[in-house]
Amino acid sequence: MGKELLFEIGTEEIPSVYMTGMLDALRECAKAAFGEARLEFSGLSVCGTPRRLVLHVADLAEHQKPLSEELLGPPVSAAFDKDGNPTKAALGFARTNGVEVGDLARRDTPKGERLMFMKEDAGEKTQEVLYDSLLKILFGLPSPKSMRWGAGLNTFVRPVHWLLVLLGGQPLPGGNYLMSLNLGNKTRGHRFMAPEEFEVTGYADYLTKLRAHKVEPIVDDGAGEGRIPLVRRGVEEAAEAAGAELAANVEGVERLVEKVAHLVEWPVPVTCRFEERFLDLPEEVIITTLEAHQRCFALRKKGGGPLAAEFIGVSNTEAKDMAVVGEGYARVVRARLEDAEFYWRQDLKTPLDDMAEKLKGVVYHPRLGTSWEKVERFRALAAWIAGEIFPGDEAFASRVDEAARLSKADLTSGMVYEFPELQGRMGSRYAERAGIDPEVARAVFEHYLPRGEGDALPLGDVGAIVGLADRMDTLAGMIGLGYVPSGSEDPYALRRAANAVIQVLQWGGYRLSLAGCAERALEPLLEKFKDDKETVSGRLAGFLRSRVAAGLSRGGARADLVEAVLSSGGGAGWRDPVDAAARLGAIETMAASAETFEPLATTFKRVSNIIRQAGEVEAPGGGAPEFSGELLADEGERALAEAIEGCAGEIGEIMSPLRELRRDGEGSLGRAYAGVMEKVAALRPVVDRFFDEVLVMAEDEKLRRNRLALLGRVGALFAPVADFSKIQGRPKDSS
């Protein structure tokens, strides 16, 4: 049995948006530090509040794990000269390990005999090395922004005021210091309700005494204990007492609960009110004011009714009279709602067309022009997309054009200036008030969807197509300027924009060529770029292909199958994401049966490789070989030619009705490709027979080229579905 370790870093209030990341980093830094120090343990957990980060380690070993490591040095042939004297290589290896050359052993390896040193380290007691591990944990914690305070040179996410370290219930011996603070056995309670210091003897004692001092250190233990469950229960009970229900959906409530839990150490819900006149404002304005700006919970009447004039705040202080706290919340909210009311009334006096006209004075990007110019670009692109997907529907095209024209108008409104989170929503509201077509009004907001991972998707085609055009213009402009995301850097959220394009295409089943759309988006921008058209087009195509690959892989698909799909059709398989997803689904279904799929993949990889290799040799002498039935000499190749003829006809019947399909809303492509794969798979026996009986690379040039052409016809059947040369054998189960 080891000893319990408790490590607490007491700080100024850490911003709530940092807390989840800081706690995760604390866990990972601790695991890394103890691993490096060879200190074993049975359990490790973290918790914390805005004023403290806490690490608890169960059964931390009392002694480092012994080390026995074989270190290989230079080859013996290079370690000694012809007279047997050690060379610089041998002397350097010995010096590095703190021994004499005579203390080194020799070891036979696959690359010859080499010098070897067996490094042995019995290890030290944990208390002798723990200080260094804590140092690495403390200074290894990353934060979005760090601070320096006082006269010290140390930095941390916020100034550190105390450090608690207990090993086996006792402070570390020797009076060690970090950041000029003693590593003691004292912590502090709630800043206002119980600010005094007090001693603790272990983790259980720590939790009990902190709660007695109005601090709940556990965030969420998964069993109903911690600040998150406390906040959730508190606001639900307060809503019930007010005869109302929480306005946000379940996901929205959970997100807000977590944010609030990282703002307080001792959550105390309080029900507050605002004047009923504010209920005349759009719901989203009230909800945004309460939840996004004040971290309060909006309420609506039970049964999904309209918003109520009550809301719930969560205080960090348990006051004698909570009504006074509620009045403080109400006063702050009232001021924000009065601002919103003013901007709402002022904006309603300005026609949406006039708001759109003001975009001429708004700079979108110094090198890409104004927001008005951007709107005009993606307005034209939206018209092209609408024509591609809904050809001949002039009424629909008109709605798309109107929605695109008005989509950014609310960026010049007072409401969006004051509440940027409401862009799109307010434009939609202003359009409704102006009596604009409801589908167009809804599209003004929906073209922003999805705004990120897990967000809602558009409900209508108009908003979806305007959103596609807007994002493609953004991608073309930014990537054309050279802002290609790299690593974790993506300041213009281009990955998110591309992911949204692919999501919307797949949501709507829209069969749109990404490459063609990209070319259209680039046309009005080319004069703004330093690079030529070919360079910019290649850069944008490469980025889009990588996002299609990421989207297809997100569901856990095999990487080689994804690459096979994207590489099909001469490398153009990524251009239609809906088609690519259908082809991947068909291949995955077949790959689920390894006994069937692996031999099939092997056979068609052989076909692909022979065609490719022959093309490199044969093509320069006279182009691609042409097939002639008159040159069929063996029974095996005649059987293959006959089977190909029948298979090609059957595949044609399957795919022909879908060639003009502009929108795959019912999974027709998936069923079709499943049928194609079945037909292609049925060819395997006759292809295998061909390889068994026929010499492809015959000495007779005419026979050789004809047989290559025959294999080319086989490849033509599966090449539009997948490039089988990219498919790898499934790894064998190591068990």
Kindly write down the DSSP assignment for every residue of 630-675, as one continuous string: GG--SHHHHHHHHHHHHHHHHHHHHHGGGTT-SB-SSSHHHHHHHH
Which class for 160: exposed (0-12), middle (13-18), buried (19 or more C-beta within 10 A)?
buried
- CA 113 to chain CA centroid, Å, is 48
Query: 625 and 705 in contact (C-beta within 8 Å)?
Result: yes
Q: Can the peptide bond before residue 66 be classed as cis, meaning omega within 30 degrees of 0? A: no
Distance between CA 361 and CA 411 in Å, rounded? 11
* Mean pLDDT of successive 10-residue stretches along the chain, which has 735 residues: 92 95 96 94 96 96 85 90 90 90 88 87 86 92 89 88 94 76 92 95 97 96 92 96 94 94 97 96 95 95 94 95 95 96 96 96 96 98 97 97 98 95 96 96 97 91 98 98 90 96 96 96 96 96 96 91 92 94 93 84 88 61 68 88 92 88 89 92 92 88 88 88 83 38
Q: Phi and psi (nearest 5°) for 624?
A: -65, 140
Q: Closest Cα to residue 502, out of 567, 579, 598? A: 579
pLDDT of residue 730: 56
Q: Is 59 left (phi over 0), alpha (psi -120 to 50) or beta?
A: left
Q: Cβ(89)–Cβ(79) under 8 Å?
A: yes
Tell me the C-alpha distance between 431 and 445, whole Å: 10
The predicted pLDDT at position 1 comes to 67
Chain center to CA of 136: 29
Of residues 503, 495, 406, 404, the one with CA closest to residue 450: 503
- Cβ atoms 500, 577 nearer than 8 A: no
Closest to 575 in 3D by CA, of 511, 660, 526, 661 = 511
Contacts of 608 (CB under 8 A, 6+ apart): 715, 719, 723, 724, 725
Predicted local confidence at residue 732, as pLDDT: 44
Which of 112, 126, 40, 50 has its CA nearest to residue 79? 112
Length of the chain: 735
Nearest to 296 by CA among 247, 356, 342, 228: 247
**Full-model pTM:** 0.81
Q: What is the pLDDT of residue 363?
A: 96
CA dist., res. 70 & res. 118, Å (int) = 5
Supply the pLDDT for residue 253.
Answer: 95
Question: What's the pLDDT score for residue 621?
Answer: 46
